[in-house]
């Protein structure tokens, strides 16, 4: 789980907040991510990594692995997905995973995905922006910042007893967020890497 960067509700050049209950939330996530990738990512030079951080041992912190698992079930062109329910990336192996990425991928461009805690009125919102996340900072863990772009899903209320809050987060909230974020990511990556009109609905059976 990372810290909530506290992005404002409206769109800015580098930060977006999208409520997953919005009827067009998937399209908004796709558009926000595509816009940032168009500005920052160079497909001919860089290798795209979607790094989904979290653990399946905590309901709230399982957001990243759920998203990673869904993304590995569909074809994402020119993209490596790391962090799934079977092979999670978490506090214990994050440093090693980052080092492995640097060794195995020339000029990697990392989209870091993680859960975070926020205000009560922000739950089930998605923050997308330029720059890294600091995994574990919300629960006082000293881990390296990672990501050229970050995507945070706000799963519960922060500010007190963070471990307890994460453990007792409703699974339904995490699953809804995971589905929405995974679809948005998939649409954005298909859009920048291909001219096909891929619809997330066509991949729904593969996502779940």
Residue in the block written with tokens 């399946």 = 56
Is 7 a domain residue?
no
Is 2 a domain residue?
no
Is 136 a domain residue?
yes
From the list 182, 187, 195, 190, the residue with the least C-alpha distance to 153 is 182
Burial of 27 (0-12, 13-18, 19+ CB in 10 A): middle
Query: What's the pLDDT tens digit per position in 22-39?
Result: 999 999 999 999 999 999
How many structural domains is the chain composed of?
1
The alpha carbon of 96 is separated from its chain's Cα centroid by a whole number of angstroms, namely: 19
Is 1 a domain residue?
no
CATH number of the domain encompassing residue 125: 3.40.50.1450
From the list 82, 27, 15, the residue with the least C-alpha distance to 51 is 82
Is 10 a domain residue?
no
Single pTM value for the model: 0.87
Q: State the residue range of the domain holding 166.
A: 15-197
E strand intervals along 1-75: 15-19, 47-52
Is 184 a domain residue?
yes
**Cβ burial 70-99 (10 Å sphere, 16+ → b, else e):** bbbebebeebbbbbbbeebbbbeebeebbe
Rounded to the nearest 5 degrees, what angle is found at the Cα of 24, between the Cα atoms of 19 and 28?
Answer: 70
Is 6 a domain residue?
no
The answer to whether 145 touches 132, Cβ cutoff 8 Å, is yes
Query: What's the pLDDT tens digit per position in 132-181?
Result: 998 866 555 778 999 999 999 999 998 777 888 998 999 999 999 999 99
Is 19 a domain residue?
yes
Query: What's the pLDDT tens digit per position in 66-107?
Result: 999 999 999 898 999 999 999 999 999 999 999 999 999 989
């Amino acid at each position: 789980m990372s810290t909530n960067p506290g992005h404002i509700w409206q769109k800015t050049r580098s930060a977006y907040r999208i409520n997953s209950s919005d009827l067009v939330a998937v399209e908004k996530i796709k558009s926000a991510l595509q816009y940032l990738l168009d500005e920052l990512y160079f497909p001919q030079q860089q290798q795209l990594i979607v790094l989904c951080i979290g653990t399946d041992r905590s309901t709230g912190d399982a957001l990243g692995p759920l998203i990673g698992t869904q993304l590995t079930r569909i074809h994402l062109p020119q993209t490596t997905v790391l962090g799934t329910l079977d092979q999670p990336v978490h506090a214990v192996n994050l440093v090693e995973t980052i080092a492995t990425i640097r060794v195995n991928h020339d000029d990697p461009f990392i989209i870091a995905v993680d859960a975070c805690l926020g205000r009560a009125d922000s739950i089930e919102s998605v923050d997308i922006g330029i720059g890294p996340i600091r995994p574990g900072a919300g629960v006082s863990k000293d881990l390296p910042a990672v990501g050229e772009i970050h995507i945070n899903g706000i799963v519960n209320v922060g500010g007190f007893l963070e471990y307890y809050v994460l453990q007792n987060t409703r699974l339904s909230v995490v699953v809804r967020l995971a589905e929405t974020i995974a679809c948005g990511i998939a649409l954005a990556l298909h859009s920048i890497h291909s001219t096909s009109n891929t619809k997330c609905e066509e991949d729904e059976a593969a996502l779940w």
